[in-house]
Amino acid sequence: MRILVTGGCGFIGSAVVRRLIDQTTHEVLNVDALTYAASIKATEAAAQSGRYRLEVANITDAASMERIFSEFSPDAVMHLAAESHVDRSIDGPGTFVSTNIVGTYTLLEAARKWWARQDAERRKAFRFHHISTDEVFGALQPGDPPFTERTPYDPRSPYSASKASSDHLVRAWYHTYGLPTFVTNTTNNYGPWHFPEKLIPLVTINAIEGRELPVYGTGQNVRDWLFVEDHAEALVRAVECGQPGETYAIGARQPRTNMQVVETICTILDELHPDPAGPHARLIRHVTDRPGHDFRYEIDPTHAEQALGWHARHDFEHGIRRTVQWYLDNRDWWDSIRAARYGGERLGQAGEKMGTAA
């Protein structure tokens, strides 16, 4: 297959690109605007392959998207390009509306125009795979069953509202125009190459440096944590066998509170990177909760597991240990991001420039 991946230099997108190049024979065109969270280094190994190419372009640019479809002639699209940091969406929602809503609309229209010109066989085989989040479903309370593909939408932040809007557009293009689209919704991902503003890398990096570990509120908010390589495997399976009009909820059955996550990171670092000043947990600081902080996300992945023949391979303890070790081994990467984005300021010490928890 010839697969057009949007946002392939991002955290999840780069994991998808690496898997496509390492584990399949598919050809990949990575379309990425190279915004702040993109990392060329995350796709360096894939770039050694003759089956991979990067095109620097913004999905809101209609002319560029139409040209790319015409030149590459994809068999499938994996649409991952998105603004995804909730704190940033609260401070500046306009960018999220532009990228997540207008960008998805622009990509859908470019795909539809190209698809309509193909013969019947190619139109039937084509797939537009939209990658989304479980945050579109709102928040779960204690005792509520996990989200499924049938959970009603109830977004609570500018980020989740923009992703909900893009999901609706993707389904509308299927029902209205017949474009063979489908959607996957996933829960919180973690793993190597995660941008340092997010909870797990932020806490890991601060702990390595003996800095405060900021946790929103009481730290009892719950997330279902999915190792990014497991998610990439599910997404590749989905683009290979996913059916038009379908939805697949992808999760790991690994719920943890934010405090459990932070304490686990501290325990691992006490072993792998001891601090002479004492246990890393001494650095935990509770900070003012963010507006509209959803209490709990958790997915029931039964349908996706059965339909895609997939299940998450990593339990949280194994995945988080691999992740912490990766940040210990790759200081040059996150140090360079800090220098470029935050003027050399330490993570967690940059006030409104930095987020805190998931």
Strand, helix or coil for residue 4: strand
* Domains of the chain with CATH codes: 2-190+226-250 (3.40.50.720), 199-222+255-291+317-349 (3.90.25.10)
pLDDT tens for each residue of the chain, 358 residues long: 999 999 999 999 999 999 999 999 999 999 999 999 999 999 999 999 999 999 999 999 999 999 999 999 999 999 999 998 888 999 999 999 999 999 999 999 999 999 999 999 999 999 999 999 999 999 999 999 999 999 999 999 999 999 999 999 999 999 999 999 999 999 999 999 999 989 999 999 999 999 999 999 999 999 999 999 999 999 999 999 999 999 999 999 999 999 999 999 999 999 999 999 999 999 999 999 888 788 999 999 999 999 999 999 999 999 999 999 999 999 999 999 878 765 545 444 332 233 344 4
Please report the beta strands in 11-74, taking only residues with DSSP state E, as ranges in sequence order: 27-32, 52-56
Q: Residue 132: beta bridge partners?
A: 185
- Catalytically active residues are 134-135, 159
Say if CB 158 and CB 90 are below 8 A apart: yes
For residues 79 and 77, what is the distance between their CA atoms, to the nearest angstrom? Answer: 6
> Dihedral of the CA atoms 99, 100, 105, 109 (nearest 10)?
70
CB atoms inside a 10 Å sphere around CB 216? 20
CA distance 137 to 153: 4
Give the Cβ contact number of residue 94 at 10 Å: 9
